Every structure is written in C-alpha cells, then in structure tokens.
Amino acid sequence: MITTKARAMRLGAGLPVYLWPLPVQGVAYLLNRTPVKTLDWESPLDALNQKPETITHLKAWGCKAYPLVHLIPRTHMQEPRVNIGYLVGCRSRNSFRFGFPSCVKSFVVKKYRCDNSA
C-alpha cells in the first residue's frame, strides 16, 4: 500500500525515479495522521499521544515551490533569489523538505512560496 501510493505521488508530481525515498516518507507521514476506522476514527498519532494532532501545516505534496536562497554574496547580486523545486515532505510544522530535479539531494527550508495551482 505504501509503495503504491508513493509511486502515484511521485508520478503525479513528475519527479524523477532517483527521488523515490521522498514520496515513501511522505506517505508514511500522511498515514500516521489519517484517521482509521479501527481506532474509532482517530489517527495513529492521536491514539499514541492521547491528544489531537494538527494537520493545518500540510501543503499539497509535489507542488512547485520556490525556496528562498540565503546569503547571496555581493558579487552575485543579479543571481536568482529562489530555486525552483518541489515540496516533497514536512520536517516540522514550519520547515518543509524540497526536492530539486537538478540535483540528487533534498533540502529542508523554512522560507518558501508554494504554487498549488500547478
């Protein structure tokens, strides 16, 4: 079930195959916060922590995002201030993981803008 959903998320976002661990982590993150019938429509995290877990910080997985580039040297003032990437995970309530097709790694960023329309 996890691999099927992860494959669908990766293909829906148009991400390359080498970023396959990111949708797997995303599916696990979402499944732990999704209410299930066997727990009387509570999420596994709610049942474990005995308190409701908030999901207001979640964004559309795989949407195009523009993380802000920090510390641009004065000699490169005409360089772009953002990198175009894809939102591929949530690290905490205010920091998100972004994948970039131009490199194999993903990065955690706090300041960004998302384009949910694409």
Report CA 19 to chain centroid distance, whole Å.
12
Across the chain, which has 118 residues, the per-10-residue mean pLDDT values are: 92 85 89 90 89 79 78 72 77 76 68 64
The rounded distance, in Å, linking the Cα atoms of 60 and 89 is: 10
Q: Where are the alpha helices (DSSP H) in the chain?
A: 2-13, 21-31, 44-49
**pTM of the full predicted structure?**
0.72
State residue 104's pLDDT score.
Answer: 64
The domain limits of the chain are 2-115
State residue 8's pLDDT score.
Answer: 93
State residue 37's pLDDT score.
Answer: 93
The rounded distance, in Å, linking the Cα atoms of 30 and 6 is: 11
